[in-house]
Chains A and B, each alone.
Chain A
Amino acid sequence: MSLALIAALPFLGALLPGVMIRAGRNACATVTGSVTALALLGILLHAPAVMRGEVVTARFEWIPALGLNATFMLDGLGLLFSLLILGIGLLIITYARFYLAKSDPMGQFYTYLLLFQGAMVGIVLSDNVLLLLIFWELTSLSSFLLIGYWRHLPEGRQGARMALAVTGMGGLAMIGGMLILGNIAGSYDLSVILTQGDAIRADPLYLPALILILLGAFTKSAQFPFHFWLPHAMAAPTPVSAYLHSATMVKAGLFLMARLWPVLSGTDAWFWLVGGAGLITMVLGAVIALFKDDLKALLAFSTVSHLGLITMLLGLGTEFGAVAAVFHIINHATFKAALFMTAGIVDHEAHTRDIRRLGGLRALMPVTFVIAAIGSLSMAGIPAFNGFLSKEMMLEAAWDTGTGFAVLATLGALFSVGYSLRYLVHTFLGPVRDDYPHTPHDPGPGLWLPPAFLAVLVVVIGLVPQAAVGGFVKVVAGAVTLGEPTVYLKLWHGLVPALYMSIAAVVGGAILLALHGGLSRAWDAAPRPEAKAIFDALVDACARAARGLSDGLHDGAVSRYLAIMTAAVLAYGFWAWSGGEHTPGLRIATPLSPVPVIFAALLAVASLALVALHRRRFVALVVISIVGLVVSMAFVHFSAPDLALTQLTVEVVTIILLLLALNYLPKATPVETTAARRLLDGAIALGAGIGVAALTWAFLSRDRALPAISDYHLANSYEGGGGNNVVNVILVDFRGFDTMGEIIVLGIAALVIFALVDGLLRGPASRWLANRVPDMPQAGDRHPLMMVVATRIALPIALAVAVFIFLRGHNEPGGGFIAGLVAAIALLMQYMASGFAWSESRQHFDYHGVIALGVAIAVLTGVASLLLGWNFLTSTNEYVTVWPLSKVHLASAIAFDLGVFLTVVGSVMLALASLSRIGRRAGEGVNLTPMDIDPEAPGRAGKEPH
């Protein structure tokens, strides 16, 4: 099975639980388990090759330009971690099936779990650091979902947030570190980076890269001073804790340190940072764990402590340390997952995890007791269990490093014995009590079989270590050190210093347990920093600062944002311009002629009048339409007939739309700004105007720097596009794809307007409209006779003009856009003259449908050419004679243009029909007769009742 498929399996499988939960909880758990089992099988099939020392790879080029390739590799280290992730994952899935209550949404749980599993498998199989980073972030996100699974619990939500914040920040730092690393090595592929150890360690950027990467690893693996999030993540359901905090999430940091061990370790910085942080974490975690009364909190801090132990071993930078670290990763995963599951069983059965309320469970839950005993004795480092072996190796490594390390390591081991024994003694031994919240007894095999399986592993590895895992540890440690480490695991090492340290730890731990009552009171009385309070204060301060900043910048004053933005663009443009060299343009200007000067003067007068008169809104509309007309005249003058036609028709439609809207808006704009403010706005506007004028002048006074592609269009318009009007051929043929996008946008705009009005008419505005009293005198004659008659005569003529413009469009100025606008104006005139209701009751198609039809036709034209084996939107052309018309040059692009035509008509009409709905809500009655002048009652032709 390809490695890529193995990494993808959990992600694909994550789709299943949500569906399968409908078939019942057993089916859901079985399917989830099958997915994991399948992935595990895939890994196991590769195992023999890896054990022979081969590295299995799978490679896809994804974004080669960025060095981002989907490359996967499986070596010893990856094999160990993927076995842990998938193997323990399988046990957890089984356990969770029986652990979760009926009210818990199990489908969701398994989906999150598989997402997390996929992310973890992705991390350990990635051969590309960028890919690894993506999976790394995915673990942060999916663990957030898992930790906060019981979303009704505030602790769950807070714990999830804290975990996400801390590990997310670490991940962010790590991205920086990994990028530096990739830059130094010249590749983002791990297999390349791992060969560049000497170059990386000698690089001046080694230390920043190291610190950034360690930030990522330490936050993930809960190393001091980032250890505080892990206990708070214990608010998650126990299966999650058992999975995340024994075998997977927190081990990701260790995995990364082990993975990069060949390139990063061996320096003083590595030794002190990693070894030091590990040592402190080990001792600190162990001390705190001793004084925790919550079973899971105790286990959480013990996890912190053991992670510190492994980190310290990696930090030593010696081969022996690496071997011990690998061995302890295996051992810790087995006994700690088993212990978490027993804690869950106790919680499940006795309804409490508080050690002070427990005790004497041995007699009531013998099976659970045996498992817990094996796990906790292994955690304490008692011979015959696997924890003893790796702890001995740890002590030996610490002894070899120096006295300080040896003393602190022994101290850590001593406290470790203390809390391990406390877990066992205070929970299971002693007299049976009669005040449990719920009388406990052993659960069904679904809950105890998974931890029992792990307990068997603990004993087997503890008794015959070399036979059980010796070869495996050698392969894994070889992958960490890129060498051939000597591994010989045995129970009895002789009378070495480590043995005396171990004995001291066990004796001391037993004494600690005996003194626990008094010590605990002293501990509770002693002042100590509360990490959560500090974290919350920090987060609150950040949130306040962020809110202060965003409130300051974003205070709801749109006019201010616009002013700042415009001024900033101006300043930036000026800065760019003043930084370069400037030579005057040499292009010869076209001579002035009188007509354009007259129109320019008209434009100047209209523009200035618009500024002066903008408070009187109706007048402003009249004035702005003059500007639009001048613009279309400019198009006429500068050889752009299509543009002139479009501008003219759009102008008509826009002004009508604004007029209709203005009917419901205030008719005047009050003076609200000070003269100084207006002056400032004027200065900004003037600056913008000067800038744009200068820019226009700059390129109009020069020739093109590069040859234009327009010559191609001119040369091929007739041959390739079958049309003489190059502008239209560009629209429907050369750049038909753009046009298709544009008509879709136009259609969407019309639908947005429809939706806006629809929402408006359902809201409070609807009542307001219904009670609205017109704020302007109403015309006595709503539908003037002259206008009604004129528009009705004009309708067929206007539509004929639209058809004419449409058909000639390919060869002469015209086309779908302009024809659509003309047709829309023809219909609009009916609306204006005869009333919305009257017109609407006489037309029988839905504008939504027209838009959809238009877009569909345009798309189908493209698809048709695809079906004929051409590129999308390829056109062909032919001359045809349709009686009674003259010879028409028909290109297949005309179908596309028809789509454009329909979309334009539909969009314009839908926008106006939406406005008409507002009008009707505002009490504009339906005129039943075409002309509502009643000769019988002159002067009473006002509003009709409705």
Chain B
Amino acid sequence: MELLVSLGIGLMTAVGVYLMLRRRTFPVVLGLAMLSYAVNTFIFASGRLISGAPPVLMKDVTTYTDPLPQALVLTAIVISFGMTAVVVLLSLGAFLSAETDAIDIEKPDAREGAAAADRAG
């Protein structure tokens, strides 16, 4: 089972990185979401995998799972949502302002920006 989880996390990471390396904002946002899944699962797995051992105190139960990574990941999931929301709104804003959703700035623009900065200085 451990091997399966490891492979799953690896697969999600690989897909996340691949999408992150695309040239448009939307696949990058999806890639970041995939990476969030992978990282959250990774942190969760650091508590080791155990089935049928609740993190809730109950009568007649002696084996409990590790609750600490769960608490950490719970907030991480919510924060990932916040991050995804900000990033997607950023990319939407960039698209509406620049009328393209390419993430790479064309080189001439960069040079022009530097030249403008020089003139200002």
Chain A residues near B (Cβ < 8 Å): 547, 551, 554-560, 562-563, 566, 587, 589-593, 596-597, 600, 603-604, 607-608, 610-611, 614, 617, 620-621, 624, 627-628, 631, 634-635, 637-643, 646-647, 650, 653-654, 657-658, 661-662, 664-666, 669-670, 672-673, 681-682, 684-686, 688-694, 696-697, 699-701, 703-704, 708-710, 713-714, 717-718, 724-728, 730-731, 735, 738-739, 742, 745-746, 749-750, 752-753, 756-757, 759-760, 763-765, 768-769, 811-813, 817, 821, 904, 907-908, 911, 914-915, 918
Contact = CB atoms under 8 A, between A and B. Distances in A.
Max chain A Cβ within 10 angstroms of own Cβ: one of B24, B102, B109: B24
Interface in B62-102: 64-68, 70-71, 73-75, 77-86, 88-93, 95-97, 99, 101-102
B78 A650 contact: yes
Nearest to B7: A693
Contacts of A756: 86, 89-90, 93
B104 interface: yes
A685 B77 contact: no
Given A555-B110, A631-B37, A749-B83, A611 B19 contact: yes
B8 to A, nearest CB: 5
A763 B80 contact: no
B109 A624 contact: no
B84 A710 contact: no
B111 A551 contact: yes
Given A654-B33, A689-B10, A727 B74 contact: yes
B81 A654 contact: yes
A817 B82 contact: no
A512 to B, nearest CB: 44
Nearest to B11: A607
Contacts, number: 323
Given A669-B22, A742-B78, A745-B82, 15 more contacts: A551-B111, A556-B106, A558-B105, A596-B4, A604-B11, A621-B30, A643-B73, A650-B78, A661-B89, A666-B95, A689-B11, A696-B10, A713-B68, A750-B82, A763-B97
Given A603-B11, A724-B56, A745-B79, A617 B26 contact: yes
B82 A749 contact: yes
Nearest to B109: A556
Contact of A665 (B1, B42, B97, B101): B101
B89 A757 contact: yes
Closest 5 CB pairs of A and B: A693-B10, A689-B14, A556-B105, A749-B82, A685-B18
A769 B95 CA distance: 11
B97 A764 contact: yes
Contacts of A563: 21
A708 B70 CA distance: 14
Contacts of B96: 664, 760, 765, 768-769, 918
A750 B79 CA distance: 11
Nearest to B23: A672
Given A688-B17, A693-B10, A727-B55, A557 B93 contact: no
Interface in B38-76: 38, 40-42, 44-58, 64-68, 70-71, 73-75
Nearest to A554: B110
A696 B56 contact: no
A700 B8 CA distance: 13
A693 B24 CA distance: 27
Given A672-B23, A763-B97, A558 B3 contact: no
Contacts of A708: 47, 66, 68
A592 B47 CA distance: 19
Interface of B: 1-27, 29-30, 33-34, 37-38, 40-42, 44-58, 64-68, 70-71, 73-75, 77-86, 88-93, 95-97, 99, 101-107, 109-111, 114
SS class, residues of chain B in contact with chain A: helix
Nearest to A813: B56
A643 B82 contact: no
B100 to A, nearest CB: 9
A745 to B, nearest CB: 6
28 contacts: A554-B110, A556-B105, A559-B23, A587-B2, A592-B4, A600-B7, A604-B8, A607-B12, A624-B34, A641-B56, A642-B55, A646-B78, A654-B33, A665-B26, A665-B91, A672-B24, A681-B21, A684-B18, A686-B14, A696-B5, A699-B46, A742-B78, A749-B86, A759-B93, A812-B56, A813-B56, A904-B78, A908-B81
A156 to B, nearest CB: 16
Given A639-B65, A657-B85, A669 B24 contact: yes
A730 B22 CA distance: 39
A682 B9 contact: no
A598 to B, nearest CB: 11
A566 B21 CA distance: 10
A614 B5 contact: no
B52 A639 contact: yes
A665 B25 CA distance: 10
A746 B74 CA distance: 13
B21 A559 contact: yes
Contact of A911 (B38, B42, B89): B89
B92 A726 contact: no
Contacts of A635: 44
Contacts of A908: 81
A534 B39 CA distance: 54
Max chain A Cβ within 10 angstroms of own Cβ: one of B1, B14, B27: B14
A714 B41 CA distance: 22
B27 A614 contact: yes
A714 B45 contact: no
A559 B103 contact: yes
A768 B58 contact: no
A210 to B, nearest CB: 37
A713 B27 contact: no
Contacts of B13: 685, 688-689, 691-693
Nearest to B104: A557
A638 B49 contact: yes
B78 A730 contact: no
Nearest to A625: B33
B19 to A, nearest CB: 6
A650 B80 contact: yes
B84 to A, nearest CB: 6
A717 B14 CA distance: 38
B97 to A, nearest CB: 5
A632 B11 CA distance: 16
A714 B14 contact: no
Contact of B65 (A590, A640, A768): A640
A555 B114 CA distance: 11
A782 B115 CA distance: 49
A600 B84 contact: no
B107 A556 contact: yes
A610 B15 contact: yes
Contacts of B41: 631, 634
Contacts of A727: 55-56, 67, 70-71, 74
B9 to A, nearest CB: 5
A590 B93 contact: no
A721 B4 CA distance: 36
A914 B92 CA distance: 12
A769 B97 CA distance: 10
Contacts of A661: 88-89, 91-92
A746 B50 contact: no
A907 B92 CA distance: 18
A726 B51 contact: no
Nearest to A628: B37
Nearest to A591: B1
Contact of B6 (A684, A693, A753, A759): A693
A730 B52 CA distance: 20
Nearest to A911: B85
A904 B85 CA distance: 13
A600 B37 CA distance: 14
Contacts of B64: 714, 726
A672 B102 CA distance: 10
Contacts of A911: 85, 89
Nearest to A630: B8
